[in-house]
Amino acid sequence: MKFFVDTADIAQIKELNDLGMVDGVTTNPSLIMKSGRDILEVTKEICDLVEGPVSAEVTATDAQTMIAEGRKLVKIAPNITVKVPLTWDGLQACKTLSGEGHKVNVTLCFSTNQALLAAKAGATFISPFVGRLDDVNIDGLELIEDIRTVYDNYGFETEILAASIRTVNHITQCALIGADVITAPPAVIKSMASHPLTDKGLAAFLADIEKTGQKIL
């Protein structure tokens, strides 16, 4: 499974990238707004930092302007993936941009039918939002499973990029289901290393070595 980091915070991306935990980055206008920086400038800096795909989202809602924005975004760096919403206009933009050889991430997916349309339109990635479905009492992980089944049934090459990941359990279940990618905030990815039994065991080891009075350095 590939890990994408869902942030525009350069320092956090660099920390995870240095550990080999970054296969790509997803951004959106809301995340870049939090950084307080110019959208094109921060996107370029992220692209220079990581080798994998960097999703940069269009801000228009009509197909023709989305296409124009997408063509501008891909000029930032070779690893740009244009992010478009799963609307009819977004699907039109996806078809055109993917037909021109650009990577496209179709976002805000909440149903299997939407995911099927995105694959037919040539999407590189489909981004189902797990956490937001959970918020309205719909099983977001079940959607990942359904999309996996449909894509496998017909050999679609569109990668399932599980988004709105909020817990380590979301990551575990997405991996078991077979999502190709998860995108999560840095804090969620880092929390995967935590376990109470690890903490308990480490405390016991440290207490024992302290009793011996020995040190390695």
CATH number, residue 145: 3.20.20.70
Q: Look-up: residue for tokens 């501008």?
A: 72
Q: 76 in a domain, yes or no? A: yes
Q: How far apart are the first and last CA of the chain?
A: 38
207 lies in some domain: no
Q: In 19-159, which ranges are continuous DSSP H helix?
A: 29-35, 39-49, 63-73, 88-99, 112-120, 130-135, 140-154
Is 83 assigned a catalytic role?
yes
Distance CA 121, CA 167 (A): 31
Query: What integer pLDDT is reported at residue 33 of this predicted model?
Result: 76
Q: Is residue 49 part of a domain?
A: yes
Residue 181 domain-assigned (yes or no): yes
Residue 99 lies in a domain: yes
Sign of the CA dihedral 165, 78, 11, 29? negative
Expressed as residue numbers, the domain containing 166 is 2-192
How much is the pLDDT for 98? 98
Residue-wise pLDDT for 132-171, tens only, equals 999 999 999 999 999 999 999 999 999 999 999 999 999 9
Q: How do residues 3-42 score in pLDDT, each as one tens digit?
A: 999 999 999 999 999 999 999 999 877 777 777 778 889 9
Amino acid identity at 206: L
Quick one: tokens of 18? Answer: 């240095």
With respect to residue 118, please indicate whether it lies within any of the assigned structural domains. yes
DSSP secondary structure letter of residue 164: S
pLDDT of residue 122: 98
On whether residue 200 sits in a domain, the answer given is no
Q: What is the pLDDT of residue 116?
A: 98
pTM of the model: 0.94
Q: Which of 34, 72, 83, 95 is catalytic?
A: 83
Our count of domains for the chain comes to 1
Residue 51 lies in a domain: yes
Nearest to 109 by CA among 161, 66, 45: 161
